[in-house]
Structure 1
Amino acid sequence: MAKDSLGKDSVKRAYDIGDLIHQIFRPGKPLKPAQKESGITPMPSIAYNPSIGAQIGLKAVAGKVLGNEPHTLMSIAATSASITTKGIIYFYLSHNVYTPGNRWNFQGSLVAAKTVVPDFGLGIGAKVSGTPEQEILANPDRKVYVIHGEYYNFKEKVYKQVMDHLFVGAGVSIDIRRKLIDKDHPDAVTPYQVYSEEHGLKTNHYLSNGFLFNLQYTTRDHQNRAYKGIYADAGLRVNQSWIGSTKNAVQITTDFRKYWSLSSKNPEHVIAFWNWGSYLVSGTLPYFELPGTGKDANFRSGRGYTVGYFKGTDYFYSEVEYRFPITTNKFLSGVTFFNIQTANDNLGTKLFQKWQPAGGAGLRILFNKATRTNLAVDYAFGNFGARGLFLGLNEVF
Structure 2
Amino acid sequence: MVKVFLICLINLLPIALVAQNPIDKNTNIDTTGQKDLIDIGRSILKDKPREDQFQEKKRIYFSILPISTSIPGGGTALVTSTTAGIYLGDPKTTYLSSVSFTPYFNLKGRYGLPIRSSIWLKDNSWNIQGDTRFLVYPQYTWGLGGKQRENNKFLVNYKYLRFYQSALKRLTSYFYLGIGYDIDYYIDVEGSSTTNSLSTFTKYRFGTLNEKSYFSSGPTLNLLYDTRKNSLNPFPGIYANVVYRYNSTALGSDNNWQSLYADFRKYVSLTDKGPKNILAFWSFYWTSLTTGAPFLNLPAIGMDPYQRSGRGIEQNRYRGRRLIYFESEYRRDITSNGLLGFVVFANVNSASQYQNNKFLYWNPAAGSGLRIKFNKKSDTNICIDYGFSKNYSNAILSLGEAF
Report the TM-score when normalising by structure 1: 0.89
Letter matched to residue 294 of structure 1: G
CA distance in 2, matches of 1:206, 1:343: 23
Find out whether 1:30 has 2:48 as its counterpart. yes
Q: Match for residue 389 of structure 1?
A: 395
Letter matched to residue 16 of structure 1: D
Q: Structure 2: 5+ residue runs without aligned partners?
A: 1-26
Q: Match for residue 351 of structure 2?
A: 343
Deviations 1:168-205 (A, max 9, x none): 0110110111122233x232244675444x34753332
Matches within 5 A, 1:192-341: 194-196=202-204, 198-199=205-206, 202-204=209-211, 205-266=213-274, 268-341=276-349
CA distance in 1, matches of 2:195, 2:229: 53
Which of 166, 174, 190 is the aligned partner of 1:165? 174
Q: 1:227 Cα deviation (Å)?
A: 2.2
CA distance in 2, matches of 1:249, 1:23: 57
CA distance in 2, matches of 1:43, 1:319: 25
Letter matched to residue 390 of structure 1: I
Letter matched to residue 93 of structure 2: H
Q: Match for residue 365 of structure 1?
A: 372
Q: Match for residue 18 of structure 2?
A: none
Deviations 1:356-392 (A, max 9, x none): 1000001111111000111111111112x01111121
Work out which structure has the larger RCO, using CA pairs closer than 8 Å and 6 or more positions apart in sequence.
Answer: 2
Deviations 1:250-303 (A, max 9, x none): 111100000001111136210000001112221321111111211211100000
Find out whether 1:117 has 2:139 as its counterpart. yes
Letter matched to residue 244 of structure 1: G
CA distance in 1, matches of 2:209, 2:336: 57
Q: Contact conserved, 1:121 with 1:142, CA < 8 A, in 2?
A: no
Deviations 1:300-335 (A, max 9, x none): 000011211101111100000000001122111110
Deviations 1:52-86 (A, max 9, x none): 31110322101122112332111111112210243
Q: Contact conserved, 2:260 with 2:289, CA < 8 A, in 1?
A: yes
CA distance in 2, matches of 1:113, 1:295: 13
Q: Contact conserved, 1:239 with 1:248, CA < 8 A, in 2?
A: yes
Which of 42, 52, 70 is the aligned partner of 2:74? 52
Report the TM-score when normalising by structure 2: 0.87
CA distance in 2, matches of 1:274, 1:7: 23
Q: Match for residue 128 of structure 1?
A: none
Find out whether 1:143 has 2:143 as its counterpart. no
Bigger mean CA offset, 78-87 vs 89-98: 78-87
Q: SS where residue 366 of structure 1 aligns?
A: strand
Q: SS where residue 345 of structure 1 aligns?
A: coil
Root mean square deviation of aligned Cα: 1.9
Letter matched to residue 13 of structure 1: G
Q: 1:241 Cα deviation (Å)?
A: 1.2
Q: Contact conserved, 1:57 with 1:80, CA < 8 A, in 2?
A: yes
Q: 1:393 Cα deviation (Å)?
A: 1.2
Q: 1:143 to 1:84 in 2, by over 3 A?
A: farther
CA distance in 2, matches of 1:323, 1:263: 12
CA distance in 2, matches of 1:50, 1:265: 41
Q: Match for residue 11 of structure 1?
A: 31
Q: 1:179 to 1:34 in 2, by over 3 A?
A: farther
Bigger mean CA offset, 151-160 vs 110-119: 110-119
Q: 1:87 to 1:200 in 2, by over 3 A?
A: closer
Letter matched to residue 32 of structure 1: R
Which of 79, 86, 94 is the aligned partner of 2:101? 79
Displaced runs of 4+ in structure 1, greater than 3 A? 139-142, 189-196, 199-203
Q: Match for residue 129 of structure 1?
A: none
CA distance in 1, matches of 2:269, 2:282: 15
Q: How many residues align?
A: 372
CA distance in 1, matches of 2:281, 2:304: 15
CA distance in 1, matches of 2:184, 2:236: 34
Q: SS where residue 319 of structure 2 aligns?
A: coil
Q: 1:34 to 1:82 in 2, by over 3 A?
A: farther
Q: Contact conserved, 2:65 with 2:399, CA < 8 A, in 1?
A: no
Q: SS where residue 401 of structure 2 aligns?
A: coil
Deviations 1:147-179 (A, max 9, x none): 121110000010000111000011011011112
Find out whether 1:380 has 2:400 as its counterpart. no
CA distance in 2, matches of 1:244, 1:273: 38
Q: 1:11 Cα deviation (Å)?
A: 0.7
Q: Contact conserved, 2:64 with 2:80, CA < 8 A, in 1?
A: yes
Letter matched to residue 340 of structure 1: V
Q: SS where residue 164 of structure 1 aligns?
A: coil
Q: Contact conserved, 2:274 with 2:336, CA < 8 A, in 1?
A: no
